[in-house]
Amino acid sequence: MHTKIFSNKKGDFEGGLPGGIFLVVGLFAIAVIWVLSFVMFDNINTELQKNSLVTGDASTIGNFLTGKFVSIFDKSFLFVVVGLGFAVIVGAWFTSGHPALFYITIPILAFIIWMGALYANIYEEITNNPQISAGASQFTFTNFIFQNYVIVVTVFVILLAVALFGKQRTAQVP
Protein backbone atom coordinates (compact mmCIF):
# COMPACT_ATOMS: atom_id res chain seq x y z
CA MET A 1 0.00 0.00 0.00
CA HIS A 2 1.43 3.35 -1.06
CA THR A 3 -0.09 6.62 0.12
CA LYS A 4 0.89 10.05 -0.99
CA ILE A 5 0.77 12.89 1.49
CA PHE A 6 0.40 15.55 -1.20
CA SER A 7 -2.22 14.03 -3.48
CA ASN A 8 -5.49 12.18 -3.53
CA LYS A 9 -6.17 8.64 -4.76
CA LYS A 10 -6.16 9.71 -8.40
CA GLY A 11 -2.91 11.65 -8.06
CA ASP A 12 -4.56 15.04 -8.55
CA PHE A 13 -3.70 17.76 -6.08
CA GLU A 14 -6.74 18.79 -4.07
CA GLY A 15 -5.24 20.09 -0.85
CA GLY A 16 -2.95 19.22 1.98
CA LEU A 17 0.36 20.65 3.03
CA PRO A 18 1.08 22.62 -0.17
CA GLY A 19 -2.28 24.28 0.40
CA GLY A 20 -1.04 25.58 3.74
CA ILE A 21 2.02 27.10 2.10
CA PHE A 22 -0.18 28.57 -0.64
CA LEU A 23 -2.45 30.07 2.02
CA VAL A 24 0.40 31.86 3.82
CA VAL A 25 2.05 33.19 0.67
CA GLY A 26 -1.19 33.96 -1.15
CA LEU A 27 -2.69 36.01 1.66
CA PHE A 28 0.53 37.98 2.00
CA ALA A 29 0.64 38.71 -1.74
CA ILE A 30 -3.01 39.78 -1.85
CA ALA A 31 -2.61 42.10 1.15
CA VAL A 32 0.55 43.77 -0.18
CA ILE A 33 -0.90 44.21 -3.67
CA TRP A 34 -4.10 45.78 -2.32
CA VAL A 35 -2.30 48.14 0.07
CA LEU A 36 0.17 49.25 -2.62
CA SER A 37 -2.68 49.64 -5.12
CA PHE A 38 -4.48 51.96 -2.74
CA VAL A 39 -1.35 54.03 -2.13
CA MET A 40 -0.83 54.41 -5.89
CA PHE A 41 -4.53 55.15 -6.50
CA ASP A 42 -4.53 57.74 -3.72
CA ASN A 43 -1.40 59.42 -5.12
CA ILE A 44 -2.92 59.53 -8.60
CA ASN A 45 -6.15 60.98 -7.20
CA THR A 46 -4.21 63.64 -5.26
CA GLU A 47 -2.35 64.69 -8.40
CA LEU A 48 -5.58 64.77 -10.41
CA GLN A 49 -7.20 67.02 -7.80
CA LYS A 50 -4.34 69.50 -8.23
CA ASN A 51 -4.72 69.53 -12.02
CA SER A 52 -6.76 72.47 -13.31
CA LEU A 53 -7.86 70.50 -16.41
CA VAL A 54 -9.86 68.04 -14.31
CA THR A 55 -13.55 68.95 -14.10
CA GLY A 56 -15.57 69.11 -10.90
CA ASP A 57 -17.40 65.89 -11.73
CA ALA A 58 -14.14 64.03 -12.29
CA SER A 59 -12.80 65.32 -8.96
CA THR A 60 -15.95 64.20 -7.17
CA ILE A 61 -15.81 60.75 -8.75
CA GLY A 62 -12.10 60.41 -7.95
CA ASN A 63 -12.67 61.31 -4.31
CA PHE A 64 -15.67 58.96 -4.08
CA LEU A 65 -13.72 56.02 -5.51
CA THR A 66 -10.71 56.70 -3.31
CA GLY A 67 -13.00 56.81 -0.27
CA LYS A 68 -14.60 53.47 -1.13
CA PHE A 69 -11.35 51.65 -2.03
CA VAL A 70 -10.22 50.86 1.51
CA SER A 71 -13.66 49.86 2.72
CA ILE A 72 -14.22 47.43 -0.13
CA PHE A 73 -10.77 45.87 -0.27
CA ASP A 74 -10.23 45.68 3.49
CA LYS A 75 -13.47 43.80 4.01
CA SER A 76 -12.75 41.70 0.93
CA PHE A 77 -9.44 40.65 2.46
CA LEU A 78 -11.24 39.36 5.54
CA PHE A 79 -13.54 37.36 3.24
CA VAL A 80 -10.54 36.02 1.28
CA VAL A 81 -8.76 34.93 4.48
CA VAL A 82 -11.75 32.95 5.69
CA GLY A 83 -12.61 31.63 2.21
CA LEU A 84 -9.10 30.51 1.26
CA GLY A 85 -8.51 29.07 4.71
CA PHE A 86 -11.57 26.89 4.59
CA ALA A 87 -10.95 25.99 0.94
CA VAL A 88 -7.53 24.64 1.92
CA ILE A 89 -9.05 22.74 4.84
CA VAL A 90 -11.82 21.24 2.71
CA GLY A 91 -9.25 20.30 0.07
CA ALA A 92 -7.15 18.64 2.76
CA TRP A 93 -10.15 16.63 3.88
CA PHE A 94 -10.32 14.98 0.47
CA THR A 95 -6.58 14.30 0.37
CA SER A 96 -5.61 10.83 1.41
CA GLY A 97 -2.94 10.67 4.06
CA HIS A 98 -1.98 7.84 6.32
CA PRO A 99 -2.09 8.64 10.05
CA ALA A 100 1.43 7.25 10.44
CA LEU A 101 2.69 10.16 8.34
CA PHE A 102 1.42 12.68 10.87
CA TYR A 103 4.74 12.74 12.71
CA ILE A 104 6.57 13.45 9.46
CA THR A 105 4.30 16.40 8.75
CA ILE A 106 4.82 18.09 12.13
CA PRO A 107 8.07 19.80 11.00
CA ILE A 108 6.37 20.85 7.76
CA LEU A 109 3.45 22.33 9.70
CA ALA A 110 5.91 24.13 11.99
CA PHE A 111 7.65 25.48 8.87
CA ILE A 112 4.32 26.84 7.61
CA ILE A 113 3.81 28.64 10.95
CA TRP A 114 7.37 30.01 10.74
CA MET A 115 6.60 31.26 7.22
CA GLY A 116 3.55 33.04 8.64
CA ALA A 117 5.76 34.85 11.17
CA LEU A 118 8.24 35.74 8.44
CA TYR A 119 5.57 37.15 6.14
CA ALA A 120 3.96 39.07 9.02
CA ASN A 121 7.31 40.76 9.67
CA ILE A 122 7.79 41.51 5.97
CA TYR A 123 4.29 43.01 5.79
CA GLU A 124 5.05 45.18 8.81
CA GLU A 125 8.30 46.39 7.25
CA ILE A 126 6.52 47.26 4.00
CA THR A 127 3.67 49.10 5.71
CA ASN A 128 6.03 51.00 8.02
CA ASN A 129 7.60 52.69 5.01
CA PRO A 130 6.85 56.43 5.35
CA GLN A 131 5.40 56.60 1.82
CA ILE A 132 3.07 53.67 2.47
CA SER A 133 2.20 53.92 6.17
CA ALA A 134 -0.51 56.58 5.84
CA GLY A 135 -2.43 54.53 3.29
CA ALA A 136 -1.74 51.19 4.96
CA SER A 137 -3.02 52.40 8.33
CA GLN A 138 -6.52 52.70 6.85
CA PHE A 139 -6.72 48.91 6.28
CA THR A 140 -7.94 47.96 9.75
CA PHE A 141 -8.88 44.30 9.10
CA THR A 142 -5.77 43.62 7.04
CA ASN A 143 -3.48 45.17 9.64
CA PHE A 144 -5.22 43.28 12.45
CA ILE A 145 -4.84 39.98 10.61
CA PHE A 146 -1.14 40.58 9.96
CA GLN A 147 -0.51 41.75 13.53
CA ASN A 148 -1.93 38.37 14.58
CA TYR A 149 -0.82 36.44 11.48
CA VAL A 150 1.02 33.75 13.43
CA ILE A 151 -2.12 33.02 15.43
CA VAL A 152 -4.29 33.00 12.28
CA VAL A 153 -1.85 30.69 10.48
CA THR A 154 -1.54 28.42 13.54
CA VAL A 155 -5.33 28.03 13.74
CA PHE A 156 -5.51 27.13 10.05
CA VAL A 157 -2.53 24.76 10.38
CA ILE A 158 -4.17 22.94 13.30
CA LEU A 159 -7.41 22.66 11.33
CA LEU A 160 -5.39 21.50 8.31
CA ALA A 161 -3.72 18.77 10.38
CA VAL A 162 -7.08 17.66 11.77
CA ALA A 163 -8.56 17.58 8.27
CA LEU A 164 -5.60 15.62 6.90
CA PHE A 165 -5.29 13.04 9.64
CA GLY A 166 -8.32 13.27 11.90
CA LYS A 167 -10.84 11.83 9.51
CA GLN A 168 -11.87 8.24 9.84
CA ARG A 169 -10.41 6.05 7.12
CA THR A 170 -13.32 4.41 5.36
CA ALA A 171 -11.46 2.76 2.53
CA GLN A 172 -7.95 1.56 1.87
CA VAL A 173 -5.92 3.47 -0.67
CA PRO A 174 -4.77 1.19 -3.49
Per-residue pLDDT of the chain (174 residues; tens, 9 = 90+): 444 444 445 444 445 667 778 888 999 999 999 999 999 988 888 888 887 777 778 778 888 888 888 889 989 999 999 998 888 888 888 777 666 777 888 888 889 889 999 999 999 999 999 999 988 999 999 999 999 999 999 998 888 888 877 766 555 555
Look up the domain containing 60 and give its range: 17-165
DSSP 8-state symbol, 101: G
Residue 171 lies in a domain: no
Gap between the Cα atoms of 44 and 27, Å rounded: 26
Q: Give the list of residues 6+ apart from residue 164 with CB closer than 8 angstroms, or none.
A: 5, 16, 17, 92, 93, 95, 97, 102, 105
Residue 47 lies in a domain: yes
Residue 173 lies in a domain: no
Angle between helix 149-165 and helix 102-127 axes, rounded to 10 deg: 160
Q: Could you give the number of structural domains in the chain?
A: 1
The pLDDT value given to residue 12: 47
Residue 170 lies in a domain: no
The pLDDT value given to residue 170: 53
